[in-house]
């Protein structure tokens, strides 16, 4: 064998005749197949496994994309590359080309979340803040577009590199979607399935524009400040209760608490008042039962005093007139934040609608009132 034959054999052996890639990681999306200064031999075999695609790039231009299968790299199956190369003698000599293997399987359990709270406007609670987090799954649906638009010349592209971009995209589109939904604040946490489906539809075109398909999108939790939760729960209970019954219940609880406060003058006075009331009620219950040989002094019949006329109030909420309601009902409405200190109030005898904080008998709603000291005995 002559010297030139040995050199020819050596060069031929250095040419790559099998192009394949085995992925031993679980996070690589795209890997560039290359060997230093080696060329691909005419008639070499290309092996593309299930869950892969092979993308040929020639001189910076997309040449061809191969789906799973085994191929002989000849002029017949690389016409685009042949045209780009412009070879005078066809495809009879080795060639250089960048080959990217792309993982097209599903990448699952990717995390997303809102870095900052999302501010929403609620009709009842005003401006409120919520946070959300969940998971999503994606896969490369257009390997050629993905290599050209995202990977570029990166020799080993992982899902970590694309995740930061995808998570920012998700957070932005999620904020827009929940803002346009205009749901009552408590329904965001109760309708995560419907909201997830809507967000996936909104985000899908953004993913597809870079060759990625958003296969799954889940909202696992929507959270809000604890004080807002308490207000929502209280409002929900009040909304289901009869306001008159609720007012009576709270009044009874207040009397009970005051009576139990033995160290305070208010508690003592309240306790004495309740004692008198109970004594009168017990006396009335026992009087009919006392009889037989006992002689009781007859008391002169007493006429009850006339019932006081209860003041009725009208109030404005969201530009609509409501009422009439009693003083206690109005107080309950203030406690539930249906009305506030600036809400307009009117009653019989008032010349015009007046803010609640300017009506003398309603100023007690605002707190800060303390009884005067007891006179010296």
| Alpha carbons 264 and 272: distance in angstroms, whole number | 12
| Alpha carbons 25 and 34: distance in angstroms, whole number | 18
Q: Name the CATH topology of 312-368.
A: Dna Ligase; domain 1 (3.30.1490)
CATH architecture of 107-225: 2-Layer Sandwich (3.30)
Q: Give the sheet arrangement for strand 40-48, strand by strand.
A: 16-19, 40-48, 69-72
Please tell me the predicted confidence (pLDDT) of residue 90. 46
Exposed/middle/buried for residue 154 (C-beta within 10 Å: 0-12, 13-18, 19+): middle
For residue 342, the tally of other CB atoms under 10 A from its CB is 9
Reported confidence tier of residue 307, pLDDT bands at 50, 70, 90: low
pLDDT, one tens digit per residue, over 229-254 is: 777 767 666 665 555 666 777 777 77
Answer yes or no: pTM beyond 0.75: no
Highest mean pLDDT among 59-68, 98-107, 239-248, 297-306: 98-107
pLDDT, one tens digit per residue, over 81-140 is: 555 554 434 445 556 678 899 999 999 989 999 888 888 887 777 788 888 899 999 999
Q: Where in the chain is the domain with CATH 3.30.479.30?
A: 107-225
Q: Where in the chain is the domain with CATH 3.30.1490.40?
A: 312-368
pLDDT, one tens digit per residue, over 341-358 is: 899 999 988 889 999 999
| Alpha carbons 130 and 114: distance in angstroms, whole number | 9
Contact 210, 145 (CB under 8 A): yes
Selection from 41, 32, 18 nearest residue 95 by Cα: 41
Q: Quick one: tokens of 282?
A: 């017990």
**Alpha-carbon Rg for the chain in angstroms:** 41
């Amino acid at each position: 064998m002559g010297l030139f034959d040995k050199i020819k054999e050596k060069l031929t052996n250095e040419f790559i005749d099998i192009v394949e890639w085995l992925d031993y990681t679980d996070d690589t999306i795209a890997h560039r197949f290359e060997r230093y200064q080696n060329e691909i031999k005419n008639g070499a075999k290309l092996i593309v496994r299930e869950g892969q695609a092979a993308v040929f790039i020639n001189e910076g231009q997309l040449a061809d994309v191969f789906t799973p299968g085994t191929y002989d790299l000849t002029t017949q199956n690389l016409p685009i590359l042949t045209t780009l190369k412009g070879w005078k003698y066809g495809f009879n000599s080795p060639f250089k080309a960048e080959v990217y293997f792309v993982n097209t399987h599903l990448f699952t359990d990717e995390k997303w979340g809102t870095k900052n709270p999302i501010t929403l406007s609620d009709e009842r609670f005003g401006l409120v803040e919520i946070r959300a987090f969940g998971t999503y799954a994606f896969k490369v649906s257009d390997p050629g577009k993905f290599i050209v638009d995202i990977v570029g010349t990166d020799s080993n592209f992982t899902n970590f590199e694309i995740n930061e971009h995808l998570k920012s995209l998700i957070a932005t589109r999620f904020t827009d979607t929940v803002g346009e939904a205009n749901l009552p604040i408590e329904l965001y946490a109760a309708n995560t399935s419907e909201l997830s489906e809507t967000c996936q539809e909104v985000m899908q075109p953004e993913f597809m524009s870079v060759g990625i398909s958003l296969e799954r999108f889940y909202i696992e939790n929507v959270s809000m400040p604890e004080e807002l939760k308490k207000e929502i729960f209280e409002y929900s209970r009040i909304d289901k209760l009869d306001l008159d019954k609720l007012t009576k219940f709270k009044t009874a609880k207040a009397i009970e608490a005051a009576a139990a406060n033995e160290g305070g003058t208010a508690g003592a006075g309240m306790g004495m008042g309740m004692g008198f009331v109970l004594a009168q009620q017990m006396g009335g219950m026992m009087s009919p039962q006392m009889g037989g040989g006992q002689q009781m002094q007859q008391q002169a019949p007493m006429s009850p005093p006339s019932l006081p006329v209860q003041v009725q109030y009208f109030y404005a909420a969201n530009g609509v007139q409501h009422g009439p309601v009693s003083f206690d009902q109005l107080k309950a409405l203030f406690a539930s934040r249906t009305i506030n200190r600036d809400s307009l109030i009117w009653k019989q005898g008032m010349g015009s609608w007046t803010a609640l904080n300017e009506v003398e008998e309603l100023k007690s709603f605002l707190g800060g009132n303390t009884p005067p000291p007891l006179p010296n005995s």
